[in-house]
Chain A
Amino acid sequence: MKSMPSWIYALGALIFVLLFNAFATPGFFEINVLDGRLFGSVIDILNRVAPVALLSLGMTLVIATRGVDLSVGAVMAMSGAVAASLIARPEGNILLGLNFGDSVFLIVLAGLVTGLLCGLFNGLLVSRARIQPIVATLLLMVAGRGVAQLISDGQIITFSAPAFASIARGATLGMPNPFWIVVLFAAVILVLTRWTALGLFIESLGSNPIAARNVGINTGALLLFVYSVTGVCAGMAGMIAAADIQGADANNAGLYLELDAILAVSVGGTLLSGGRFSLVGTLIGAILMQTLTTTILTRGVAPELTLVVKALVVLAVCLLQSPTFLHMLRPKKVAA
């Protein structure tokens, strides 16, 4: 007996929104080639979804362990601030001691390490200090933006560095670079979890933490792993965001993106109560949310309504995952 994948609703909804656009939004599926690079609404969606997609990949693993990482937005701000400070080298900055020159590789590495350190911090609080994940990561969510401002001296650091900017703005093989970054991260995380036993261990831990310890799963190391992965993903998302605007805004970089990421994960069919997770579902969820946003924007609806739409999607997903709600629906159908 093979049950349907958990992301079937999300895929259905995505197809529905795409079909809607096919009829209602002229030129939605049009793709132009310019300088060997593809342009069009669909490409734009795949480009813009990158930061949220990265965050939600890591978030999927964290949520599968019954956790949540609220700090990813703030981590983006921190890694962005680190990268911007290393590139722009503003006077009196605390990172002046590090000179990476123009090496994009080293700067991205610094950003990723920033994310990794944040992830380790979260992971230690959750696994060692046994603090509830919502609370433990709330800490960095509050203090992280303060740290980001500390790094950038409270200013919006702007820079002009074409090589670094190409992370967000360049294209490879016709597709925008952020798309490839997501593909790379998704592939690595998929291989790490599904070609090894880590996926089973993560699902076991989320399904029953005590039993997981009793069968010898190293739950502490596993938690450290999932939060670190999320930290690195957030670090990369921060790089893309900084490269996109060629600057670092400690206050607004990644603001509320943690919520979008959680939304993408749950829309993608991973239960917030932990256990079974689906990375594919998460990617579909993230694309669905971005498609909705783009649809709203291209149709000229007031942009603030995206917030309302997101709210309604969250509620719809929650209700569809609620056994009580489904149970209530059923007898009605029978009666009707």
Chain B
Amino acid sequence: MNRFLSQERLPVLITSVVAIAMFLIAGFKYDNFLTLRVFFNLFSDNAFLGIVAVGLTFVILTGGIDLSVGSMVGCSSIMLATLIRDSQVAPPLAVGIVLAFGCLIGLTQGFLIARFELQPFLVTLAGLFLCRGIALRISQQSVQIDHPLFDQWASFSIALPQKSSLSFAALLLFLVVGIGWYLSRLRPFGRAIYAIGGNRQSAELMGVPVRKTLIGAYVISGICAALGGVVFTLYTQSGNAVSGTGLELDAIAAVVIGGTLLRGGYGSVPGSLLGVCVLGIVQTAITFDGTLSSWWTKIVIGVLLLGFLLLQRWIESAALSRRALAPSGTN
């Protein structure tokens, strides 16, 4: 069997081809699209989505789902802004508190899911309500942030050729993807994540610390979502309790388009970054066009998602029939 075109790699390969093709087509269609500036802005503009998607990838790899990430972004955004403006907390400490909060929510969700074998879908649905409720409780108004250090972070960027640049947010995104890749590939924790996604009972009997690993996945997702909220706040320079509404869907779409199977076990962290790029290109192209209304973004993402889901099904059934046809036995 061709390992290169395996169940794991083929979707990522196709996503890459689609991403490049879309970038080129948009480049021919719209002036100034095919530039480094547009390319690097993809990462700056979608850093928060990317960071959230990386965390979500871990959860989805275990075969679970985390619906709370969107409202976590809103919650951490408003929390950060209020801490800095009203409570006069130094930004680094405020970020620390917000990340700790994300960790706590992730820990709670993970504990309930792992310890009591509750459905991830429902527990994180409760998390969605809870975070949004807390966020709205903190403030229903948008909170502006005026803090020199925070402004410094927001305006920091590395200049690159052709007037392009990489913002602080984009650098954070790359860092998070790097850490995510390291955890998933080079730590036993990552192997355990994959093993649980492949077959939870087996993983248990093979001595994988299933509970700890599951909790770990939701903690990572919680922290990433909180960090996503921080980056979103940097991007808008203000905190808003309703930011991130529906973001969980974009994040899931990015992860799926990036080649991770929703049933768990197959996929990768860099793939999710690729998925975010695809969503970003769609968004940017529609903005460039100017005549297309913004809702086309949703429709195009829906169509793309459909395409990739059908593709996943096709690959899976091809793999199944290949297995059925494979001669059994070692002789």
- In A232-275, the 8 Å CB interface with B consists of 250, 259, 262-263, 266, 272-273
Closest Cβ of chain B to A108, distance in Å, is 25
Question: Contact at B129–A322, with CB atoms within 8 Å?
Answer: no
Known: A143-B298, A146-B296, A311-B133. A262 touches B116 (CB 8 A): no
B17 at the interface (CB under 8 A from A): no
Tell me the residues in window 136-170 of chain B with beta carbons closer than 8 Å to chain A beta carbons.
136-137, 140
The smallest C-beta distance from A304 to any residue of chain B, in angstroms, reads: 4
| Cβ-defined contact, B127 with A311, below 8 A | yes
Classify chain B: how many residues form its interface, as a range: 35 or more
When distances are taken between beta carbons in the complex, the residues of chain A under 8 Å from B263 are 132
Q: Is B65 an interface residue (CB 8 A)?
A: yes
CA of A266 to CA of B126, assembled, Å: 13
How big is the A interface, by class?
Answer: 35 or more
Q: A318 to B112: give the CA distance in the assembly, Å.
A: 9
Interface of A is mostly: helix
In the complex with contacts A141-B249, A150-B299, A324-B115, A266-B122 CB distance below 8 A? yes
Q: B121 in the interface, Cβ–Cβ < 8 Å?
A: yes
Contact among B252, B295, B306 with A149 in the assembled complex (CB-CB below 8 Å): B295
Please indicate the chain B residues that have their CB under 8 angstroms from the CB of A324 in the complex.
Answer: 115-117
A315 at the A/B interface (Cβ < 8 Å)? yes
B305/A142 in contact, CB under 8 A? yes
Given contacts A134-B262, A146-B302, contact A139 B309 (CB under 8 A): yes
Contact (Cβ within 8 A) A135 B302: no
Residue B100 interfacial (CB < 8 Å) = no
Pick from B125, B136, B249: contact of A314, CB below 8 A. B125
Nearest-neighbour CB distance to chain B for A177, whole angstroms, equals 30
Q: CA–CA, A145 to B298, complex, Å?
A: 7
Confirm or deny: B253 has a beta carbon within 8 angstroms of a beta carbon on chain A. Answer: yes
Interface residues of A in 18-70 (CB under 8 A from B): 68
Question: Contacts A134-B121, A150-B295; is A312 near B302 (CB within 8 Å)?
Answer: no
- Output the least CB separation between A85 and chain B (Å): 15
State whether the Cβ of A335 lies closer than 8 Å to any Cβ in chain B: no
Given contacts A131-B309, A308-B133, contact A146 B118 (CB under 8 A): no
Q: When the two chains form the complex, which single residue of B65, B130, B136, B295 contacts A134, counting CB atoms closer than 8 Å?
A: B65
Other-chain contact of B129, A140, A145, A311 (Cβ < 8 Å): A311
CA distance A150 to B296 in the complex (A): 8
Q: Which residues of B contact A325 (CB under 8 A)?
A: 116
Chain A, residue nearest B121 (CB): A134
Known A146-B295, A315-B112: A129·B309 in contact at CB below 8 Å: yes
Q: Which residues of A contact B250 (CB under 8 A)?
A: 142
**Set A134, A259, A311, A322: member contacting B116, Cβ < 8 A:** A322
Tell yes or no: B185 within 8 A of A by CB: no
Report the Cα distance A131→B317, complex, angstroms. Answer: 12
B211 to chain A, nearest CB (A): 11
Tell whether A136 pairs with B253 under 8 Å between CB atoms, given A304-B133, A318-B122: no
By a CB distance below 8 angstroms, the chain B residues around A134 are: 65, 121, 262
18 contacts between A and B (CB under 8 A): A129-B309, A131-B309, A131-B310, A142-B249, A146-B302, A149-B298, A150-B293, A259-B129, A272-B121, A273-B119, A307-B130, A310-B126, A314-B129, A318-B112, A318-B126, A323-B117, A324-B116, A325-B116
Q: What is the interface of chain A, defined by CB distance below 8 A to chain B?
A: 68, 125, 129-132, 134-136, 138-147, 149-150, 154, 250, 259, 262-263, 266, 272-273, 302, 304-308, 310-312, 314-315, 318-319, 322-325, 328
A-B CB proximity, top 7 nearest: A143-B302, A146-B298, A307-B133, A304-B136, A149-B295, A311-B129, A308-B133
